[in-house]
Amino acid sequence: MKAKINPKKIDPLFDGHLEKPLSKMNPKEKLQYLWLQMEFKYSIRNRRIVLNKDLKTNKENE
């Protein structure tokens, strides 16, 4: 079984930009935005690349 790269559907109206600039966000929106950025960076740093069905990672093969 092949895993999907992105199982979630992307909203067709999403163009990749913030709804409003950081200078116009209230403190709660700023914290939420910063939290999402931190969570994204963490998930990117700690990702594992699976090479085959035996679940060997790229680091194990080096």
DSSP, residue by residue, 5-61: S--SPPPTT--SS-SS-GGGS-HHHHHHHHHHHHHHHHHHHT---B-STT--BHHHH
Task: Judge whether 6 lies within some domain.
Answer: no
- 48: containing domain: 22-61
The domain tally of the chain equals 1
Torsion from C-alpha of 43, 11, 7, 51, nearest 10 degrees: -50
Q: What is the pLDDT along the chain (62 residues), one digit of tens a residue?
A: 566 676 777 777 777 777 888 889 999 999 998 998 999 899 888 887 766 666 555 555 55
Task: Judge whether 43 lies within some domain.
Answer: yes
**Residue 52: per-residue pLDDT:** 64
Task: Judge whether 9 lies within some domain.
Answer: no
Task: Judge whether 34 lies within some domain.
Answer: yes
Task: Judge whether 1 lies within some domain.
Answer: no
Count CB neighbours of 32 within 10 A: 12
**Residue 60: per-residue pLDDT:** 55
Task: Judge whether 53 lies within some domain.
Answer: yes
Task: Judge whether 14 lies within some domain.
Answer: no
**Residue 27: per-residue pLDDT:** 94
**Residue 34: per-residue pLDDT:** 92
